[in-house]
Amino acid sequence: MAEQTSPHVAFYKQGWENYQQTLIKTISSLSSEQLALPIAAHSRSIGELLNHMIGARFNWFYMWMGEGDPNLDWSDGDDGDEAALSRADSLVALFEKSWHVISSALDRWTSADLEKLFSPPASHQSWLRNQGLPEEVPHTRQWIIWHVLEHEIHHGGEFSLALGAHGLESFYS
């Protein structure tokens, strides 16, 4: 008998999916001018923040765990595509594409799958060495899922704060 998907993953998936849909709804209502607003003086714009969140999904789910189609057009903010960062439809499409990868994986992973250990990508280790930083240790799939989720919660709060600071309706309201 095949093992069923993890009850732990199923527990978090619904909340994360609701969060995803709320993000999409909020992002789609923003104009290019609003996406270009800085979160605070000398910090990234709202569009850059959202692209950073997509980049984390890419790095952890694709680069670390190999999830998703290698031809999927992810964006992690390093390509300088300012036009995509200022268009809500581009950001929404990237959130939807990345959510499809995450959701599909969450639907199939079993409790045993959560214990699988992943070594850091060689490109990540090289980048850390070039920065004079210690190399990353391997992480379990369970750790990675939680890490991406906490990253989204953290930056979701930052997104909400930026919206409120500019008099825009927060997705947490």
Sorted by sequence, the CB contacts under 8 Å of residue 5 that are 6+ apart come out as: 106, 107, 108, 109, 110
Domains in the chain, number: 1
Given a cut of 70, whether residue 67 has pLDDT beyond it is yes
> Are 164 and 39 within 8 A, CB to CB?
no
Instruction: Please state, as a whole number, how many other Cβ atoms lie within 10 Å of the Cβ of residue 57.
Output: 23
pTM metric for this prediction: 0.87
Whether 169 has a pLDDT exceeding 50, the answer reads yes
Nearest to residue 61, comparing CAs of 133, 163, 152, 155?
152
Known binder of ligand: residue 42? no
Q: How high is the pLDDT of residue 4? A: 74
Q: Which of 6, 1, 2 is nearest to 112 (CA)?
A: 6
For residues 49 and 96, give the distance between their C-alpha atoms in angstroms, rounded to a whole number: 16
Residues 6+ apart with CB under 8 A from 105: 61, 65, 67
- Highest average pLDDT, of 2-11, 67-76, 152-161, comes from 152-161
Distance of alpha carbon 171 from alpha carbon 156, whole angstroms: 9
What pLDDT, on the 0 to 100 scale, is given for residue 173? Answer: 57
Q: What is the mean pLDDT of residues 1-7?
A: 67
Cα–Cα distance, 96 to 155 (Å, whole number): 17
pLDDT grade, residue 85 (50/70/90)?
A: low
Average pLDDT over residues 114-143: 94
Flag the least confident range among 13-17, 57-61, 91-95: 13-17
Q: Where are the beta strands (DSSP E) in the chain?
A: 117-118, 139-140
Close Cβ partners of 127 (under 8 Å, ≥ 6 residues apart): none
Domain range for residue 80? 18-119+139-165
Q: Judge whether 8 lies within some domain.
A: no
**What percent of the chain has pLDDT above 70?**
88
52 is known to lie in a ligand binding site: yes
Asked if residue 26 is part of any domain, the answer here is yes
Would 173 be classed as within a structural domain?
Answer: no
Domain membership flag for residue 31: yes
- Give pLDDT, residue 106: 92
In a domain, 134, yes or no: no
Specify the CATH number for the domain of residue 43. Answer: 1.20.120.450
Residue 78 has pLDDT above 50, yes or no: no
Per-residue model confidence as pLDDT tens digits over 15-55? 899 999 999 999 999 999 999 998 888 889 999 999 999 99
**More confidently predicted of 92 and 40:** 92
Q: Quick check: is 7 in a domain?
A: no
pLDDT score, position 87: 87
For 16, list phi and psi in degrees, rounded to 5: -65, -40
Q: What is the mean pLDDT of the chain?
A: 87
The reply, when asked if residue 147 is annotated as ligand binding, is no
Rounded distance between C-alpha atoms, residue 65 and residue 55, angstroms? 14
